[in-house]
Amino acid sequence: MPTLGLLMLETRFARPPGDIGHPGTFAFPVLRRTVAGATPARVVRTRDPALLAPFVAAAHALVAEGADAIATSCGFLARWQRELQDALPVPVWSSALLELAGPAAAARRCGVITIDAAALGAPEFEAVGVRVPPPVEGIAPGSRLHRTLLEDLPTLDAADAAAQVVAAGRRLLARVPALDTFVLECTNLPPYAQALRAATGRAVRDVTTLLEARMAALAAASP
């Protein structure tokens, strides 16, 4: 079975089941490596270009350890999809935003829920092949979930987190009622995908659905 290499941000917040950093989230083998200095603020808000080289170096180290593909623990790293893929000899899946590209996406009416709507823009969408950005809704600025993830606070209120994700979905549907699919940009939001489905009746795609499908395809293609 192929092994996934995960490039992890340097964080301390809790990671419940379903989060990309929880050891029980995936059924396939996973190797994780933390990129020193890659804090949520530097990746999401500062967009620090100096971090690209450490991400590439960490990815090479994961490949050397046996990773057959590389993914990341932050959807905003979509902006470096091309650079990471060009630097590595294995497939790179930088972000759940890849769910918006390709034939399957064309059949969906997608909207994106992100941890920070003010920071997500054309560079991230264009880098994964999305020419027309979809409607986007962010987690409420200043909410407990918003602060926990972006300020890297040590505690996580799961009930508040689920409520914030559902509220973002409802705000997005109020603006664009025709949406049939939510794509969760943030890799820390999949634990609340079921609550979002139940509250809205819409499909939800996220980094876990992306990686499960692509790792299955990689396994099927392996000799």
In one-letter notation, the amino acid at residue 144 is R
pLDDT digit string (tens) for 164-202?
999 999 999 999 999 999 999 999 999 999 999 999 999
pLDDT at residue number 105? 82
What CATH number has the domain spanning 4-95+208-221?
Answer: 3.40.50.1860
Tell me the pLDDT of the chain averaged across its residues: 96
pLDDT tens-digit readout, 4-20: 999 999 999 999 999 99
Among the four given CATH numbers 1.10.10.410, 3.40.50.1860, 3.40.950.10, 3.40.50.2300, the one describing domain 97-206: 3.40.50.1860
Question: Which pLDDT belongs to residue 223?
Answer: 74
The reported pLDDT for the residue numbered 47 is 87
Distance, CA of 57 to CA of 74 (rounded, Å):
17
pLDDT in tens, 76-130: 999 999 999 999 999 999 999 999 997 778 889 999 999 999 999 999 999 999 9
- How is the chain split into domains, by residue range? 4-95+208-221, 97-206
- Contact 210/93 with Cβ under 8 angstroms? yes
Q: Quote the pLDDT of residue 130.
A: 94
Average pLDDT value for residue range 35-46 = 94
pLDDT number for residue 171:
98
What confidence score (pLDDT) does residue 102 get? Answer: 79
**3, 23, 115, 117, 119 from 176: Cα distances, Å:** 38, 36, 19, 16, 21
What's the whole-number mean pLDDT along residues 32-40? 96
Tell me if 99 sits within 8 A of 105, measured CB to CB: yes
Q: Do domains 4-95+208-221 and 97-206 have the same CATH topology?
A: yes
Average pLDDT over every residue of 134-146? 97
Token pair recorded at residue 42: 């530097």
Residues 6+ apart with CB under 8 A from 106: none
